[in-house]
Amino acid sequence: MKDLKSLIRAVPNFPKEGIKFFDITTLLKDGDGFRQACDQMWEPFANAGVQKIAGIESRGFIFGAAMAYTQNLPFVLFRKPGKLPAETESESYALEYGEDQIEMHVDAVSPGERILIVDDLLATGGTAAAACNLIEKLGGEVAGISMLVELTFLPGRQKLEGRNLNFLFEFASESMDSDD
Amino acid sequence: MKDLKSLIRAVPNFPKEGIKFFDITTLLKDGDGFRQACDQMWEPFANAGVQKIAGIESRGFIFGAAMAYTQNLPFVLFRKPGKLPAETESESYALEYGEDQIEMHVDAVSPGERILIVDDLLATGGTAAAACNLIEKLGGEVAGISMLVELTFLPGRQKLEGRNLNFLFEFASESMDSDD
């Protein structure tokens, strides 16, 4: 078993001064690490009656698609506005300044279907909470949310109360020299 | 075996009036179809000495990541400008009006490494040609390019002369009522 956390690269001052960016591309570049991450992201939901996997654009596509392949499950997409060509439903969420939206095709989810939401990293939780609401708007059920990383110095988890959550590891501090 | 081409949905007038958009989300929603697509996209390169798979943002991530998982290969990313946090190299390509760029981390490719480039659909070929150039700029070798669909009514293939190409099927016409 690999120490997946050690495969993440912290990049200072990206996307802006003072922010530490947790870069997963160094994990993706490790074939065994990537496989292990996908397997562990699926494991807790093996008996959760998951009928579809939904990936959040765009790093959620990477883990979600591999999980859909291994489980032989349908894969559906949460995308940024204007990217999906057919009829969509959308959900807004707050940003630090202003708001953004995610969209899903209305035919991506059937009533009562149990959906596992996949992304790479939980930060403020706005996108993940919107993804849950969007599944429910379309009549589906959220079987759970599975991500590689939780940034526990941000309040993302508060927005996901009552959801089945799976994170493989966390970063507890954004300071560049911490022991997280 | 599924008829993968029949799983693609043609959406008229997207992203603008008069354009037919070939929507792959209907294929992704078919678990067996998605698996078969990934397997067939890999198959011709099974003995090509591929050392890494590179996906083009963002639909290329879906097929590329699943292929990387099944082959236990590293997965690296071509992204739109400003998305990758560490040191990048970039390559420009022409659009109908103006130009765009793709980027890759400089440490994504090591000298001499054989890379398989993966995306969903070949249209004008600008992105795919830029992806090849970028791999070579970084010292890598292009083992091939594998995509689900080729739009043969566009001249994409001309930009990829001498490359090892694999497309699972083609659409020969953009007219909405054609027999493609």
Low-confidence ranges of chain A (pLDDT < 70): 175-180
Say what the pLDDT of residue B33 is: 98
pLDDT of residue B124: 95
User: How would you write chain A as a 3-class SS string?
Assistant: CCCHHHHCEEEECCCCCCCEEEECHHHHCCHHHHHHHHHHHHHHHCCCCCCEEEEECCHHHHHHHHHHHHHCCCEEEEECCCCCCCCEEEEEEECCCCEEEEEEEHHHCCCCCEEEEEEEEECCCHHHHHHHHHHHHCCCEEEEEEEEEEECCCCHHHHHCCCCEEEEEEECCCCCCCCC
Smallest Cβ–Cβ distance between B28 and the set A14, A70, A74 belongs to A74
What pLDDT, on the 0 to 100 scale, is given for residue A175?
62
Do the Cβ atoms of A59 and A42 come closer than 8 Å?
Answer: no
Which pLDDT belongs to residue B66?
A: 98
- Please list every residue in chain A whose beta carbon sits closer than 8 Å to the beta carbon of residue B8: none
The pLDDT score that the predictor gives to residue A28 is 98
Question: B29-55 pLDDT, tens per residue?
Answer: 999 999 999 999 999 999 999 999 999
pLDDT at B177 over 70: no
Of the candidates A25, A65, A77, which has its C-beta nearest B65's C-beta?
A65
Q: Is residue B174 pLDDT above 90, yes or no?
A: no
CATH topology of domain B49-167: Rossmann fold (3.40.50)
pLDDT per residue over A38-61, tens digit each?
A: 999 999 999 999 999 999 999 999
Taking only the tens place, the pLDDT of each residue in B54-113 is: 999 999 999 999 999 999 999 999 999 999 999 999 999 998 889 999 999 999 999 999
User: What does residue B94 show for φ and ψ, rounded to 5 degrees?
Assistant: -80, 140
Closest CA to A148 of A117, A172, A121, A174: A121
Chain B hits for A82, Cβ within 8 Å: 15
Q: What is the structure's pLDDT at A97?
A: 87
The overall average pLDDT reported for chain B is: 95
Task: Tokens for B47, please give them.
Answer: 């003995």
| Coil vs helix vs strand at A98 | coil
Tell me the chain B residues in contact with residue A70 when contact means C-beta distances shorter than 8 Å.
69
Task: Measure CB to CB from residue A73 to each of B31, B52, B82 and give the nearest one.
Answer: B31
Residues of chain B whose C-beta is under 8 A from some C-beta in A? 9, 11, 14-15, 21, 23, 25, 28-32, 34-35, 38, 52, 55, 57-59, 61-63, 65-66, 68-70, 72-77, 82, 84-86, 105, 108
- Output the pLDDT for position A180: 40
Its pTM stands at 0.96
pLDDT of residue A178: 43
Strands A99-105 and A88-94: antiparallel
CB half-sphere exposure, B159, CA atoms < 13 A: 19
**In chain B, what percentage of residues exceed pLDDT 70?**
97
Residue ranges of the domains in chain B? 49-167
pLDDT at residue B176 is higher than 60: no
- Cβ neighbours of B61 (radius 10 Å): 31
What ipTM does the predicted assembly reach?
A: 0.96
Q: By C-alpha distance, which of A133, A134, A153, A127 is closest to A22?
A: A153
**Amino acid symbol at B100:** D
Per-residue confidence at B175, pLDDT binned at 50, 70, 90? low
Mean pLDDT of B2-12: 97
